[in-house]
Structure 1
């Protein structure tokens, strides 16, 4: 039987007088419920929602005990509370667990009615101990204040209920509270977090909206009131590609909260610190791709991806470009606006828009272009030779190569010698290609550098903000010895004179049609795109296609002493049809490179991806037209082919 997620979500806005009403708590739990429904496998979510009048003390206690109590050791339990927090005087019998003689409480809809009480921290601890006794993974999310002076939104609507002035007798607490608070018997209890709960509590993880002395604030998201923590948590789960750990979630949530409000620091606590490195909700939520969003912050418009996500710095006027759409819409039509990244920060980027947008809304952004760094080439050696090479480089494509004086940090080195030019990588003495000599050698060196630059650009090409998940098109490699482990180097070897063969299978794991193309980037700077007759292949949901390939060490390389080569097979996945065949280039041959003619960019790009791929390889590109916006990603597998020498 698959593991299940048992969830109890409590949100209260409609408190009766004299407790102040709230605005965003029901929105919080309603949105989180939708997130859970969209991120959990079918049939695994057991959800109980208690909002406003249904969120009585008795109903909440029953839901925790009964609903969450169903979770077994293989399951996950979640309690999510959004509402008022408060305090109350602690009975003398429970002072042992409360140095300040006060209980922290959550305020339920009937808490202040005659004969009813808030749910005190010690009561909640006792309930959680009972749930945790089964060994389930337990998460508690509290989007409320936990001490005096707290509010939950930027307009200072009070989110801290007035303290209950009544003297509460110890007999009004749930059974077992007195024993637990004084260290007495509590089945399955683990001592820890006494500052939060006032006594020992079962194993669990707690995500709290703020520190005990801070205010839990509320923000406006798409015109709706939301708790700052709840909004940031929903965003973190919606946008995270993969299964984030609790530490990952805290980092993303903290950044999200602190971008919007001040003096609020979400807190993550666990009885067992090792649990903080486990997947959020114990892995009960399934993988999804992150959604790139654009929002207006105090320093202007920005996207929520930055240097840590791989967004490159602008290169002169060349920068990351975006198409902007409504948050919930598809990206097949005309965008609301376009944007250009002006500054890359660690966790986000500042953006200039082509037209004004409503600053109260959050928008969806799609990367349409990224800056392509030219290859830095340092020229060394003979003074006369370096001068002629610099003159020849004046006609080079400056978007592909840039000559630099300092070899430190250069991608390639070119040394001018009397016999010709030697191209090497920094720190590697073996030449990249044979010495370039003879008539017209300067132009052939420049052409060779451009050839290598195109290869390097394609080799490193990736989309730092794709919404397509890893493995959207899954690559499976089968060799004569069986399937290769995912992500591993595929190793092949000749059997005598016979080239080794293998099969590469591509499977669409998503619920939409995707197009895939396979680029073979060889060790000698060739780029081959002939795996599919039309360049790319369309795969519907669940569909697969297979390609039979072989590894090869050419006779020329083998005769020259090369006994192994590595090919980089790069899978480009797109939401729109595209043709990569203009990227193809032969192996680098410095004897003929100056006379090679490679036609690129002859057909106007049909999508933003085709334009980007064309820009990676040529200076001859027509002005941008109105192109369809494609989301895309790249994945790769390395194949090493060995051809042992004859003994």
Structure 2
């Protein structure tokens, strides 16, 4: 894999059969890996309410991953941390950042690698060269010593301007080094936070906080072209004209008109630490499987955002996305870790970021290369932090013959098995623990609406209806109710449209129930307006039915994304491409998992799918609207080497906003009819018993829609004939014609 013109090939094979991080080829060892991690939490010259908590924690998380989990070696001396209260770190001032980047440009050699991260506040100000920006604004990152805005010509003192970042990266890449830069910072999002998230803070600064007249930003916002998707920092990608530059990948947490949050993560974990959602998601996906390309990593981030209903933030990904992360070509990743036995307990060097939540079961293997059928015992996670888990003994996966339900064995029953390890003291030296199932949480967590002085009776009605739905065992969904402000996938708010900040003349004064994303944001802007129910009527039954329909839609939409994280088809196994065809002009715009094209009424979506596997594959296409409706677009069975070409979707004027095209590929089971997911667009039928442990994507979708289980596990069996599948999500922004 060549990273860019003039850059040397950095190909290495990493064998994960021996441990999480195996030996690397000499070409990778010959290069030097650098990192510059900036985390700004305190802004002494700005109001205290603009200070953050998460950026320092982001810096520590990234440092710990690079030094202890990365598939390529990072020398601590080459990992520069610019964050307050970090041992060995420097203050994240503008001078420190610029000096460190200059130092990297001096040190870099052809083939070297640089990871660069900025966590903190982003913002915008009048561009030094207005002709260089689409909206006349420079994107800026705020170091610790940033000062208050002066005027349109001088802007804010001590800020890192996008052109400064681009120039620094150019100098590093001119030396032939590959750069991966991550910006976990916001810019100028303006949506109202109508439903609280008590522990969630948007990395967002209001113009008033820095002394900037709001019209400086608002004037620019009116000039933005809905068709233009502008990155927060302009960075020149590797191009054909560049013969010496190293490659580059850039990950941005949000577009220029969006915010990004920090919150306690993992969600719901006891004593969770506050991190930037973007940073935590990136390194969680990497910890679960480092054998990915940047594009696959980006897809994992987007799928996770959809699974938690984070619809108000759209990350951006640019550059050489098909290069392997950290420049390492790897073999198939095996989620297993050497077992450490000590007087203090049994531990492994995998934790929450690796998907090892309490209760996760692992097979105990005598040697790293053994298959699961040679397991000598079973363990499960008792407690875990980001990179470490404490283990206890567990039962092997055994099913009750009557109900086909996975059951735990008693101590006597465990003793009677053929397993050789029945107590922690029996674990032999050199043993490994391997994950045997991936868990999927199917519960939709719903935050109740906050109390309202204006509409107390409507809030009471909503709470009563929610309680009835949560207790109804016959509905094909599982919801958990939490208090306002608690971590949730969905937040509800009861308020009149006229009470919102961006309400115009003639806005409704009727009480309205709003279905808000995880962020709790509410905007009446075209394309960002969330679903709602006007509660003018006292018809409790009708309102209850409407609430149930919305919850069922959201339940299915988020769970499809969760299942997608367990896909086991590779990108070359089943090639699926969607193309947007413009009405009138016939212009074709690729729809990729990592971009967000704008679809206008009359535009159509063309699908091309090719089956490169040795067995038949069923393809289903679903469309999830901005109102969480799920439309079934069609299905097709593809024989090996077969290709389908068809137009599935035409955009209408029914709704606008961020919408999703979902492609489900499932390996065909002999003698079974074509997998048909059309039922997902209709109320499901609750299954009365739980079947065997789901082993395929198709099984998981059925398990999810049965409404029976709050959690399901997908087998990670290493048998060769298991049924494979994938769920891939393609985001699209729909908008009215200008």
| TM-score bracket for this pair, using the shorter chain length | 0.3 to 0.5
Does 1 or 2 have the higher relative contact order (CA < 8 Å, sep 6+)? 2
The alignment's TM-score, normalised by the length of structure 1, stands at 0.41
The alignment's TM-score, normalised by the length of structure 2, stands at 0.36
